[in-house]
């Protein structure tokens, strides 16, 4: 990875002091009334690949806040959800580390240079710390032999799979087959976002969970199932609702994001976060007998290009209200898993630019073209959504359950039980 | 012969079938025809004369937003697909519980 002129030991994360003299690069706009901020390679996705940006502020904290204003998400990448500079990030003012000065309160003046240097071993900042897989063990060669024997995979492809990290949003109908097949494939790290607990009604389709798991946190049940299939997989449990406050921090930790969310608010939130962090998003959704799957690659269109706004509450029913054929989850989820494995291996034609439609009743697959919308409010030429928003409000209170709604859901459940008795 | 119209399971409640046939020189005309056959059809996908922004209509495999929108011309043998966004990932209790449509 290019770290500019700075030499960072990939194993220890130690910055070679001799390289600091050559760094940060001289400000090409020296003399102008601003502070130059050096952006490290892994954060440059946010700055349109610019190595240096101009910012204003009286101290380091203000300067970084100003950079965040210009490039939303920057603060999250540097600070995570906290306010302290994390241990793996060093910040320099004119080549001097700020912890030896006044920390984020270190005063700066026009013409100064601020450099943000993540010094994590084997990668840095928002980049997931990459697993390095050496030669496969005999057991691994056995386990993955049906992959390795294929010329499109081979030992190097299998190593790529084992070095990859994947975040699955939702350990439900879609998340289940996705997680199981990716675990079997030997993905290095799988993150599971789900704050819900296993309910008996989940077991009609959610193959991550079994009878004994009812009542358990889904993300924990998922971890147990995944590791029962393949103990080599590192599973990270994110047992909290994904929100505008934590999505940047969570999503930044993974190479690929797979969406199996069950509501529009989470879908727009995940889409927007993936756009800001330039993460590939493998999207799937299901209802009744229908499925839709596609892939959004960074800079090449997004969910908002396809569906600029969510339906008003009530227009499109949820699976809980309308139902879903259990096996449909397997069809759509395994397509999502297939797409991510293709991206990792760099083989085939991804679903990018195509929306795959599956109609289980007709038993028919079709596809339609999807395009990057030049007027997209998020990824178009003149974006108006430049930071994460309030997705509950955007989706008409999608997360907010009123008493009336809770009552209706309870009535529906009661009606189902009554029907079943007859 | 007319135009073949494919709808998702949600709209099937109105049309009774997932593939129906309609007539019209343009997409707008076709929707009028369908609304005549299946009262309430237009209300499900349109509001104040425009398509809902969570509904896409495709002529064959192309989004009519990138053709001539509702004025996109149709000919016999064309296939129209009407696709609303789906949110389901098939959780259960995390599903939002929307107000029932009136």
Contact B94, A206 (CB under 8 A): no
Average pLDDT score over residue span B77-85: 93
CB contact under 8 A, A196 and B9: no
Distance CA A282, CA A182 (A): 13
User: H or E segment at A332?
Assistant: helix A326-345
pLDDT given for residue A277 in this prediction: 95
Residues of A in contact with B8 (CB under 8 A): 287-288, 290, 359
* pTM of the entire predicted model: 0.70
Pairwise CB contact (< 8 Å): A287 & B61: no
Q: How many residue pairs bridge chain A and chain B with CB atoms within 8 Å of each other?
A: 188
Lowest-confidence segment of A5-19, A233-247, B14-28, B85-99 by average pLDDT = A5-19
Reference A288, options B98, B38, B5, B88; nearest CA is: B88
Cross-chain residue pair B87–A320, CB shorter than 8 Å:
no
Q: How far apart are CA A190 and CA A99, in angstroms?
A: 35
In chain B, residues with a C-beta closer than 8 Å to the C-beta of A197 are: 93
Confidence band, pLDDT 50/70/90 cuts, at residue B94: very low
Dist CA A99 CA A310 (whole Å): 46
Query: What per-residue confidence (pLDDT) applies to A399?
Result: 42
Residues in chain B with CB shorter than 8 Å from the CB of A263 are 87, 94-96
A246 Cα to chain B: minimum distance (Å): 18
Cα–Cα distance for residue pair A274/A297, rounded to 1 Å: 9
Say what the ipTM of the complex is: 0.78
**Do B89 and A173 make contact, defined as CB atoms within 8 angstroms?**
yes
* The predicted structure's pLDDT at residue A420: 56
Cα B73 from Cα B85, distance rounded (Å): 24
Instruction: Nearest chain A residue to B52 by CA: give it.
Output: A311
> For residue A419, which phi and psi values (nearest 5 degrees)?
-60, -40
| Residue B53 predicted with pLDDT over 80 | yes
In angstroms, the Cα distances linking A165 to A257, A378, B5, B17, B55 are 9, 25, 41, 42, 33
Top residue of B90, B94, B100 to mutate, by most chain A CBs within 10 Å, is B90
More confident residue, B16 or A124: B16
Q: How far apart are CA A4 and CA A43, in angstroms?
A: 13
Rounded to the nearest angstrom, the minimum Cα separation between A270 and chain B is 13
- Predicted local confidence at residue A131, as pLDDT: 73
Please report residues of B whose CB lies closer than 8 A to that of A307.
Answer: 53-54, 56, 85
Q: What integer pLDDT is reported at residue A73 of this predicted model?
A: 84
Average pLDDT, chain B: 84
B52: chain A residues, CB-CB within 8 Å: 309, 311, 315
Tens digits of pLDDT across chain A (422 residues):
343 344 434 333 344 444 433 344 444 444 446 899 988 777 777 887 787 899 999 999 999 999 988 888 888 888 877 777 776 677 888 877 787 788 889 999 888 888 887 654 333 344 555 677 888 999 999 999 999 999 999 999 999 999 999 999 999 999 999 999 999 999 999 999 999 999 999 999 999 999 999 999 999 999 999 999 999 999 999 999 999 999 999 999 999 999 999 889 999 999 999 999 999 999 999 988 999 999 999 999 999 999 998 888 777 777 777 788 999 999 999 999 999 999 999 999 999 999 999 999 989 999 999 999 999 999 999 999 999 999 988 888 544 444 444 455 555 555 555 655 54
User: 3-state DSSP call for residue A359?
Assistant: strand
pLDDT of residue A20: 38
Q: So what's the pLDDT on residue A406?
A: 45
Residue of B nearest to A240 (CA): B94
User: What's the confidence (pLDDT) of residue A101?
Assistant: 83
């Amino acid at each position: 990875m290019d770290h500019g002129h700075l030499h960072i030991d990939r194993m220890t994360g130690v910055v070679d002091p001799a390289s600091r003299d050559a760094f940060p690069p001289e400000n090409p706009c020296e003399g102008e009334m601003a502070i130059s901020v050096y952006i490290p390679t892994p954060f440059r996705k946010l700055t349109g690949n610019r190595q240096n940006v101009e910012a204003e502020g009286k101290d380091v904290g203000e300067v970084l806040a100003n950079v965040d204003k210009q490039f939303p998400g920057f603060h999250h990448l540097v600070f995570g959800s906290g306010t302290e500079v994390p241990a793996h990030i060093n910040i320099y003012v004119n080549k001097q580390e700020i912890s030896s000065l006044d920390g984020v309160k270190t005063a700066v003046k026009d013409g100064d240079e601020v450099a943000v240097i993540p010094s994590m071993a084997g990668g840095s900042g928002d980049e997931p710390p990459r697993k390095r897989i050496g030669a496969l063990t005999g057991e691994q060669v056995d386990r993955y032999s049906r992959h390795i024997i294929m010329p499109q995979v081979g030992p190097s492809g299998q190593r790529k799979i084992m070095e990859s990290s994947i975040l699955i949003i939702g350990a439900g109908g879609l998340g289940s087959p996705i997680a199981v097949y990716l675990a079997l494939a030997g993905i290095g790290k799988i993150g599971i976002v789900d704050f819900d607990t296993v309910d008996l009604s989940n077991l009609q389709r959610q193959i991550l969970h079994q009878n004994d798991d009812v009542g358990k946190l889904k993300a924990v049940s998922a971890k147990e199932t995944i590791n029962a299939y393949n103990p080599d997989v590192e599973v990270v449990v994110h047992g909290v609702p994904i929100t505008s406050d934590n999505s940047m921090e969570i999503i930044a930790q993974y190479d690929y994001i797979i969406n199996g969310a069950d509501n529009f608010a989470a879908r727009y939130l995940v889409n927007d976060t993936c756009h800001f962090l330039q993460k590939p998003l493998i999207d799937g959704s299901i209802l009744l007998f229908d499925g839709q799957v596609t892939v959004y690659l960074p800079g090449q269109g997004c969910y908002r290009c396809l569906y600029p706004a969510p339906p008003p509450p009530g227009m499109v029913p949820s699976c809980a209200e309308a139902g879903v054929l259990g096996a449909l989850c397997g069809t759509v989820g395994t397509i999502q898993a297939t797409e991510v494995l293709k991206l990792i291996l760099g083989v085939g034609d991804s679903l990018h630019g195509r929306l795959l439609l599956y109609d289980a009743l007709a038993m028919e697959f079709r596809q339609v073209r999807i395009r990057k919308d030049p007027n997209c409010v998020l990824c178009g030429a003149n974006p108006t959504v430049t930071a994460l928003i309030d997705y509950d409000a955007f989706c008409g209170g999608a997360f907010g359950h009123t008493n009336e709604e809770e009552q209706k859901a309870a009535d529906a459940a009661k009606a189902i039980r009554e029907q079943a008795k007859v | 012969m007319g135009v073949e119209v494919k709808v998702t399971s949600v709209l099937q409640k109105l049309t009774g079938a997932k593939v129906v046939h309609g007539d019209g020189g343009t997409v707008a005309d076709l929707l009028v025809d369908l609304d005549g056959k299946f009262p309430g059809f237009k209300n499900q996908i349109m509001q104040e004369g425009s398509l809902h922004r969570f509904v896409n209509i495709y002529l064959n495999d192309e989004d009519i937003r990138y053709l001539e929108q509702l004025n996109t011309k149709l000919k016999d043998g064309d296939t129209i697909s009407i696709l609303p966004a789906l949110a389901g990932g098939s959780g259960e209790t995390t599903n939002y519980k929307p107000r029932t449509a009136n």
